C-alpha cells in the first residue's frame, strides 16, 4: 500500500443488530487495493456501526462505493430502529485529510463520490462541513434533522434540494450525507482538584463557543473514581488550534485557581503531525523536518 | 519490507576516492531482502565512506556480509591513505536498535556477524561498545589505536587477541571492528547571548564527564554568523537520558545567567520514539501509546 498520501473515512452505517448482514457488508469492502479497514465499532442500542477506513483517494472512493452498494442491498431503513439519529442506510461518510493531503482534495473526493452515489443508486446526496454547498449545510446535525422518516417531506423544500441525485428519497436507503472535515482529536486534561466549578470555568474560558480558541470544544467532567475533575476537549482543527496550545491555555487558566494539571489523556487516534508539532514547539526547534525521523526516512527509502 | 523490527547499521568503509570501486561495492549491497540503504556519505579527505543501512536482523546480516565480501576483494589497506584513523577495509560496523529491537538482539547480531566474517574471510574480529567482551574493548578509539599499520604487532599481545578469527591481521583487509550501540542524537541548543563562557559553563554542568547527565556529551560553540553561542550535545542513550531532560537542564542552567534558549537544532536523524516521548512528557500524558498515532495504526492494519 502506498502510504505517501492518506485519507481517512469514518462511514456510519445504520446496522449493528443483524450480525450476518453486518458481516456481509464488511466482507464486501475488504481487500480493495490501497485501502485498509482500521476499526469497526458496532453499537447495538444505536443499531449503528462506525467503520474507520484509510487509503488513497482512488482506493477509498472504490471502497466507499462498494459500501453504498452493499448497504442499498442489505439495509431497509423502513424497518430500522435505533437511538441514534440517521437519514440514510450509510448515514454519513466524512473524508478526512491525514497525511500529505489537502482539505481541497478531500472536498473534491466528497463531490466525486457524491456524484457517483447519486448516479449509480439514485440516492439523493447532501454535502456537509468543508464540502457543503451553502453555509446552512455545514452542520451535520442540521442537515440530518428530520431523519429518514421526515426526509420525504424535507427534500421537497427548495432550500433542501439535494446537491446531487433525485429530488425524492430512495425508498429503502433514504439519503446520503457526504462531507470533508479535519481529524478530530479528543484530548482530556486532568486537574489536581475535585472542584467541578474550576473545570467548568476553564472549559468556558478555552472553548470557541464562549470566546476561547477557535477549534476547541470543551466541558468540565467529574472523574468520580479519582475524585478529580477534567477538562474534556475536542480539537476540531489541530492545524489551526494545535494540541499544545490548548493544553498550555488550560495550564494557564488552572494556575489562576492555584490548580495544576496532573495528567492528560488522548482518546482514540491522533495524526503523527500533531505529535511532531508538539515536540517541535516545546523543544523550540528551528528547522525540524519529519523526514529527520528515522522511521520516516526509512519509509521514503 | 517488514518494518515491525528495525536495526540500523552505519558501516564505515576505507574508500571514497576511487568512484568505480565505491560504486561496485555499493551495488553489491543493493536489493538484499528486508534492507534499505538510507544514506551514503563519501569523504574524499578521509578517503572513507559512511553508509547508513537499515533492516531486519537477518536482512542486515546478509547485507553486511556482502559488504565485507566486496571490501575484501576491492580494498587493499596497504595502498590506502586518508586522514581518518582506520584498522580495516570495513573499518567499523555498529549495530543500533531503532524499533522494537533490544540491545541484546543487536549484541547477538554483532557476535553472529563477527563469527561469520572471521570464518568466511579469515579476518580477525574485535567486538566493541555494548558487544565488547572486556571493559577495555568498549571504547572504539582504544580498540582501533595503532591502526592498520600497527595492528600486525598489536594483535600479538595477549590482551588484544581478537574475539573471533586468526591471531594475525588479514594482509589487505586488516581487522574488523563490530559492535552494538544506541542511536546517537546530535542536538544543539542556541542561547540568547554571545558570551561563549556561558555556553562552556552550561556544557560543563550538563555533560557526564564533568558531573552532569550520564549520556550527554556537550561543548560550547560560537555561532559567528548569528553572534550567539550554542551548547552542542551528543546524546548517546536517549532512552536513559532523553532529549527533553537534557534540553530542560540547559534551560535551567541558562536561567542562572539570565539567558534564554532561543532555538534548537536536530542534526541528522532521531528515532520516532524520542519524539513521542518528548510530546508525552510535555503534555503530561497518562496512557499514551504510539499505536494511537494514525499512521502507526495504519501500518499495523
Strand segments (E) across B10-149: 12-13, 35-43, 48-55, 90-99, 125-129
| Mean pLDDT in residue range A214-223 | 96
Q: Rounded CA gap, A294 and B8, in Å? A: 9
Provide long-range contacts, Cβ within 8 A and 24+ apart, for A101-104. Answer: A101/A5, A101/A6, A101/A7, A101/A57, A103/A130, A103/A180, A103/A182
ipTM of the complex, rounded to two decimals: 0.86
> CA nearest A263 in B: which residue?
B284
The CA-atom distances, in angstroms, between A226 and each of A176, A220, B140, B281 are 43, 15, 52, 21
| Mean pLDDT in residue range A243-272 | 97
Of the partner residues B54, B243, B266, the one whose CB lies closest to the CB of residue A298? B54
pLDDT band (50, 70, 90) for residue A1: low
pLDDT at B1: 59
Are the C-beta atoms of residues B13 and B43 closer than 8 Å to each other?
A: no
Distance of CA A255 to the CA centre of its chain: 32
B89 interface with A at CB cutoff 8 Å:
no
Which residues contact residue B93 at a Cβ distance below 8 angstroms, ignoring those fewer than 6 apart? B9, B10, B11, B12, B64, B67, B113, B176, B177, B178, B179
- Of A22, A88, A9, A110, nearest to A55 by C-alpha is A9
Answer whether B38 sits within 8 Å of A298, measured CB to CB.
yes
A260 interface with B at CB cutoff 8 Å:
no
Q: What is the pLDDT of residues B149-160, one digit of tens each?
A: 999 999 999 999
Residue A257 has pLDDT above 70, yes or no: yes
pLDDT at A82: 85
* Percent of chain B whose pLDDT exceeds 70: 99
| Mean pLDDT in residue range B115-131 | 98
Q: What is the pLDDT of residues A24-78, one digit of tens each?
A: 999 999 999 999 999 999 999 889 999 999 999 999 999 999 999 999 999 999 9
Mark whether A84 is an active-site residue.
yes
Burial (0-12, 13-18, 19+ Cβ within 10 Å), A255: exposed
Are the C-beta atoms of residues B220 and B229 closer than 8 Å to each other?
A: yes
Residue A2 has pLDDT above 80, yes or no: no
A247 interface with B at CB cutoff 8 Å:
yes
Residue B103 has pLDDT above 70, yes or no: yes
CATH architecture of B6-180: 2-Layer Sandwich (3.30)
Assigned CATH for B185-294: 3.30.70.670
Which residues contact residue B125 at a Cβ distance below 8 angstroms, ignoring those fewer than 6 apart? B114, B115, B117, B118, B162, B163, B164, B165, B175, B176, B177, B178
Which residues contact residue A26 at a Cβ distance below 8 angstroms, ignoring those fewer than 6 apart? A37, A40, A51
Of the partner residues B6, B54, B278, the one whose CB lies closest to the CB of residue A279? B278
The helix-helix angle for B19-28 and B57-74 (nearest 10°) equals: 150
| Mean pLDDT in residue range A157-175 | 97
Return the DSSP state at A285: B
Q: Which residues from chain B sit within 8 angstroms of residue A287, using beta carbons?
A: 265
Number of helices (H), then strands (E), belonging to chain B: the values are: 9, 11
Predicted TM-score (pTM) of this structure = 0.86
Rounded mean pLDDT of chain A? 95
Q: Rounded CA gap, B21 and B257, in Å? A: 54
Q: Which residues from chain B sit within 8 angstroms of residue A301, using beta carbons?
A: 36-38, 54
- Of B83, B11, B8, nearest to B41 by C-alpha is B11
- Of B21, B147, B143, nearest to B72 by C-alpha is B21
pLDDT at A299: 84
> CA nearest A100 in B: which residue?
B295
pLDDT at B4: 82
Domain boundaries, given as residue ranges, for chain B: 6-180, 185-294
Q: What angle do CA B279, B53, B236 make, to 5 degrees?
A: 45
Answer whether A275 sits within 8 Å of B263, measured CB to CB.
no
CB count within 10 Å of CB A265 equals 17
Instruction: Give strand pairing partners of A261.
Output: A191
Q: Which residues from chain B sit within 8 angstroms of residue A248, using beta carbons?
A: none
Answer whether B247 sits within 8 Å of A283, measured CB to CB.
yes
> CA nearest B294 in A: which residue?
A271
Rounded mean pLDDT of chain B? 95
Which residues contact residue A18 at a Cβ distance below 8 angstroms, ignoring those fewer than 6 apart? none
How many residues are given for chain A?
301
Q: What is the pLDDT of residues A177-209, one digit of tens each?
A: 999 999 999 999 999 999 999 999 999 999 999
CB pairs under 8 A between A and B: 131
Are the C-beta atoms of residues A297 and B33 closer than 8 Å to each other?
A: no
- Of B58, B60, B59, B40, nearest to B49 by C-alpha is B40
CB count within 10 Å of CB A115 equals 15
pLDDT at A300: 81
CA-based end-to-end distance of chain B: 15
Of the partner residues A190, A276, A298, the one whose CB lies closest to the CB of residue B275? A276
| Mean pLDDT in residue range A99-128 | 97
pLDDT band (50, 70, 90) for residue B219: very high
| Mean pLDDT in residue range A275-287 | 97
Are the C-beta atoms of residues A184 and A236 closer than 8 Å to each other?
A: yes
A26 interface with B at CB cutoff 8 Å:
no
Q: What is the pLDDT of residues B77-98, one digit of tens each?
A: 999 998 888 999 999 999 999 9
Q: Rounded CA gap, A21 and A42, in Å? A: 12
Amino acid at each position: 500500500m502506498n502510504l505517501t498520501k492518506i485519507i481517512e473515512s469514518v462511514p456510519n452505517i445504520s446496522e449493528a443488530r443483524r450480525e450476518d448482514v453486518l458481516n456481509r457488508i464488511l466482507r464486501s469492502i475488504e481487500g480493495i487495493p490501497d485501502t485498509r479497514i482500521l476499526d469497526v465499532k458496532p453499537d447495538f442500542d444505536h443499531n449503528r456501526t462506525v467503520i474507520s477506513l484509510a487509503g488513497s483517494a482512488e482506493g477509498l472512493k472504490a471502497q466507499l462505493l462498494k459500501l453504498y452498494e452493499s448497504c442499498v442491498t442489505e439495509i431497509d431503513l423502513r424497518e430500522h430502529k435505533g437511538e441514534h439519529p440517521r437519514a440514510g442506510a450509510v448515514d454519513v461518510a466524512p473524508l478526512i485529510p491525514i497525511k500529505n493531503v489537502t482539505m481541497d482534495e478531500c472536498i473534491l473526493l466528497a463531490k466525486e463520490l457524491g456524484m457517483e452515489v447519486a448516479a449509480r443508486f439514485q440516492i439523493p446526496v447532501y454535502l456537509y462541513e468543508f464540502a457543503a454547498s451553502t453555509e446552512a449545510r455545514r452542520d451535520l446535525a442540521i442537515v440530518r434533522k428530520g431523519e429518514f422518516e421526515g426526509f420525504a417531506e424535507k427534500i421537497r423544500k427548495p432550500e433542501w434540494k439535494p446537491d446531487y441525485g433525485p429530488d425524492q428519497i430512495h425508498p429503502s436507503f433514504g439519503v446520503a450525507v457526504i462531507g470533508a472535515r479535519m481529524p478530530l482529536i479528543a484530548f482530556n486534561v486532568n486537574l489536581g482538584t475535585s472542584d467541578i466549578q474550576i473545570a467548568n470555568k476553564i472549559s468556558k474560558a478555552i472553548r470557541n463557543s464562549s470566546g476561547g480558541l477557535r477549534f476547541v470544544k470543551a466541558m468540565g467532567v467529574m472523574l468520580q473514581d479519582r475524585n478529580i475533575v477534567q477538562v474534556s476537549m475536542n480539537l476540531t482543527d489541530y492545524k489551526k488550534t494545535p494540541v499544545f496550545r490548548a493544553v498550555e491555555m488550560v495550564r494557564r487558566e488552572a494556575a489562576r485557581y492555584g490548580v495544576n494539571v496532573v495528567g492528560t489523556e488522548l482518546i482514540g487516534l491522533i495524526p503523527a503531525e500533531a505529535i511532531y508539532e508538539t515536540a517541535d514547539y516545546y523543544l523550540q526547534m528551528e528547522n525540524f523536518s519529519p523526514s529527520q525521523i528515522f522511521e520516516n526516512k526509512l519509509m521514503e527509502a
